[in-house]
Amino acid sequence: MVWQEVLIRVVAAIAIGVMIGIEREYKNRPAGMRTHGLVCLGAAIAALLEGLLTQSIAAQAGGAVSISMGRLSAQVISGIGFLGAGTIFIAQKKISGLTTAASLWNVACLGLMVGFGYYYLALFISFLIMIVLVALQRVIRVNTIKRVEIRFVNRASTLPYINQYLQQNKIKVLDIDFHIEQQPENLRPEEHMYTNLYTLHLPSGLHFSDMVNALSENGDITTVRTRNV
């Protein structure tokens, strides 16, 4: 293996890792462009080292030696787990960072592939990964159950407004919990703060952001946000 070939593989590994990392950077995820680039480069280095060592040993032994391939590569695939675990965190019983961890693991595998010289296959797979990260969620939308907290005042007029909006947009209410924050006695009942916690199933044609914008148009609604507990 000549040094020009090694250089091409190293540059290709950095380019592929950075390309996928830019998408994660754009979405402000824990591991971004530099992390993905370094992971892909490191995996490529491990593959290159394994290939060079195998080539060197085979040349010195004249082909009369048995060589076990894949040991360094296997350590890369298993060892990348500590980086992936570092991007996963739990906040309010919600797990975040799983997609970034999966992209890091894929980038490590792409780096190994590039390090062994499979440029075109690695490039093709990197485009598939980009499709999964960028386009798949827009093409296939999975309707998940949303827990939505709505805080409002003036219950007599605001609650019918909320119910009417949910019915008109065919939003299924699976459960509802409510809380009233009692204000000082000198205030009127319409000035009390009410909090309703809805468990909703949104129809396929409605995005959560659209619901937030529509409900926020009512001046008596102060907060619309998702809740995990």
| 132 plus 188 within the same structural domain | no
pLDDT at 58: 73
Of 126-130, 131-135, 177-181, 186-190, minimum mean pLDDT range: 186-190
| 44 plus 92 within the same structural domain | yes
The amino acid sitting at 191 is: E
Give the span between the Cα atoms of 111 and 9, in whole angstroms.
9
Which has more confidence, 16 or 98? Answer: 16
- What's the domain range around 161? 145-226
| 110 plus 168 within the same structural domain | no
Using the 3D structure, point to which of 104, 139, 174 is the last residue of a domain: 139
| Residues in Cβ contact with 51 at an 8 Å cutoff, skipping those fewer than 6 apart | 1, 115, 116, 117
Average pLDDT over residues 90-110: 77
- Starting from the edge strand earliest in sequence, which strands make up the sheet with 145-152, in order? 172-181, 193-201, 145-152, 221-226
| 84 plus 156 within the same structural domain | no
| 80 plus 186 within the same structural domain | no
| 127 plus 23 within the same structural domain | yes
| 132 plus 152 within the same structural domain | no
Number of domains in the chain: 2
SS3 assignment, position 170: coil
pLDDT band at 117 (very low <50, low <70, confident <90, very high): confident
Average pLDDT over residues 92-109: 78
Average pLDDT over residues 64-90: 74
| 14 plus 109 within the same structural domain | yes
pLDDT band at 94 (very low <50, low <70, confident <90, very high): low
pLDDT at 91 > cutoff 60: no
CATH of residue 217: 3.30.70.260
Give the span between the Cα atoms of 143 and 202, in whole angstroms.
6
pLDDT at 62: 67
- Helices H, strands E: what count in the chain? 9, 6
Q: What is the pLDDT of residues 136-167, one digit of tens each?
A: 766 666 656 778 889 988 888 898 999 999 99
pLDDT at 144: 64
Average pLDDT over residues 41-61: 81
C-alpha distances in Å from residue 186, one per residue of 157, 179, 181, 191, 222: 21, 20, 14, 10, 21
Which has more confidence, 18 or 190? Answer: 18
pLDDT at 161: 92
